[in-house]
Amino acid sequence: MKKTKSQRISSTINPIIRQAYEIAKRDLRSNYRKKGIFAGHHQFSDYWARDFSFASFGSAELKDYDVIKHGLEHFINHQKKDGFFPFLIGAKHFLLKYAGFKVHERIPTYGDHKSKSAVVDQNSLLVIAALNYIKKSNDKNFAAKYFENLKRAVDWSLSRDKNKDFLIEERYFANWADSIRKTGKVLYSNVCFYKSVEDFSDLCRICRKHTLSLEYKDLANRIKQKINSEFWNGRYYTDWIENDRKHDFFATDGNVLAIMWNVANKDQATKILKHMEHIKIAYPVPCKTNYPSYPLKYESWLMWFVFLGDYHNNSLAWLWLGCCYAIAQKKAGMKEEAGKIIKQIAEIINKNNMVYEVYEKNGQPVKRTIYKSETHFAWSSGLFVYAVNEIFGKME
């Protein structure tokens, strides 16, 4: 019998990568629940907006559309009237669950959504996940049904631009790196914001709202231009800007996503990737969060209390960042280098027979006095599945 294209790709791919792909696929699907995707099996066995959103890219490659649809609807059902999404639908008392107590009720957690300290990335990421789902599944009924919800989500993010300069502002602990004190305009959050507006413009087009599509397309272009004029320092995008002061650390998250999502042009992408190689951000484990290390004053005291001050600070590594790094390399025409990073990640996954949340420099999952790395981590599992399909061709 003649093999399909996906079967031919799967049979020719490096067996190390193929083995890790199956582990990641298993770990991702092990988190599927009735109302979406859990972030993990233990302390994060809840519905986290950002974890779900990134993990859903892997689910879409597997054509597991129902779990994405149910997850999106679960968050939409808990959306505030002003468009604000909860960043978590989960246990009320996280520490009790971490201690082993079972959770029977999960409630939405918003934070103070009307204040400057509101969490900002979940609105952008859920819009991005929704558009990816709609395009992959061709579910135009979903697009029409929830169009207004997604519009309110984008408009809420836009409301975070207090000085009307096309960049959103935030306060401490307001994005995924929620153990680091960043305030002002943060690269990662604004790249996500840009992508969500760009995607919403596409959603308008899908729903035949062409005038509105042009309006949001123009807004997306303005955001992109502003990111490039404010954050680009000639080698990479700076980490965050506070009262016109640039905190010129290299942040992996915003830089690799800027390449993936077309904020960076080809020349900028080449310079970013060259700098990442220079500072060895992907070695020995792809990838660390930043370089150089943030001073102690930027770290959360709570993380030091659990002996985890380096959670988001240079020392530890996250495989989801490594997956995005590899995709960025592929997008910049560096397919061979992308394949090497994916193989690095695959070897770590195979060694542990599992996708963990966060890793030490030696490639072992974090196992500190109090905190242990989450198991079957959906975010990295989903992005590994997505990255392999993006770099090597369709596996399914």
Looking at residue 125, what is its pLDDT? 98
CB 315 within 8 A of CB 284: no
Sign (positive/negative) of CA torsion 71, 136, 381, 10?
positive
Residue 301: is its pLDDT beyond 60? yes
If one compares 308 and 212, the residue with the highest pLDDT of the two is 212
Looking at residue 395, what is its pLDDT? 81
Q: For the residues 127-146, what does the mean pLDDT come to? A: 98
3-state secondary structure 278-302: HCCCCCCCCCECEECCCCHHHECHH
Q: ∠ at Cα 362 (360, 368), nearest 5°?
A: 35
Partners of residue 245 on adjacent β-strands: 242
For 293, the domain range is 5-392
Partners of residue 88 on adjacent β-strands: 48, 109
- Rounded to the nearest 10°, the torsion over CA 115, 164, 50, 245 is -90
Q: What is the pLDDT of residues 348-368, one digit of tens each?
A: 999 999 999 999 999 999 999
Looking at residue 104, what is its pLDDT? 65
If one compares 307 and 51, the residue with the highest pLDDT of the two is 51
CA distance 281 to 291: 7
**Please, which pLDDT band fits residue 324 given cuts at 50, 70 and 90?**
very high
Partners of residue 246 on adjacent β-strands: 241
Query: What's the whole-number average pLDDT of the chain?
Result: 93
**How does strand 47-48 pair with strand 88-90?**
antiparallel
Residue 99: is its pLDDT beyond 70? no
Report the predicted TM-score, pTM, of the whole model to 2 decimal places.
0.95
Partners of residue 37 on adjacent β-strands: 32
Q: For the residues 187-196, what does the mean pLDDT come to? A: 98
Q: What is the pLDDT of residues 29-40, one digit of tens each?
A: 999 999 999 999
**Please, which pLDDT band fits residue 118 given cuts at 50, 70 and 90?**
confident
Domain CATH for 83: 1.50.10.10
Residue 10: is its pLDDT beyond 90? no
**How does strand 32-33 pair with strand 36-37?**
antiparallel
Looking at residue 307, what is its pLDDT? 84
Angle subtended by helix axes 147-158 and 121-137, to nearest 10: 150
Number of domains present in the structure of the chain: 1
Residue 279: is its pLDDT beyond 80? yes
Report which of 357, 313, 368, 93 is spatially closest to residue 181, judged by C-alpha positions. 313
Looking at residue 113, what is its pLDDT? 47
Share of the chain above pLDDT 70, in %: 92
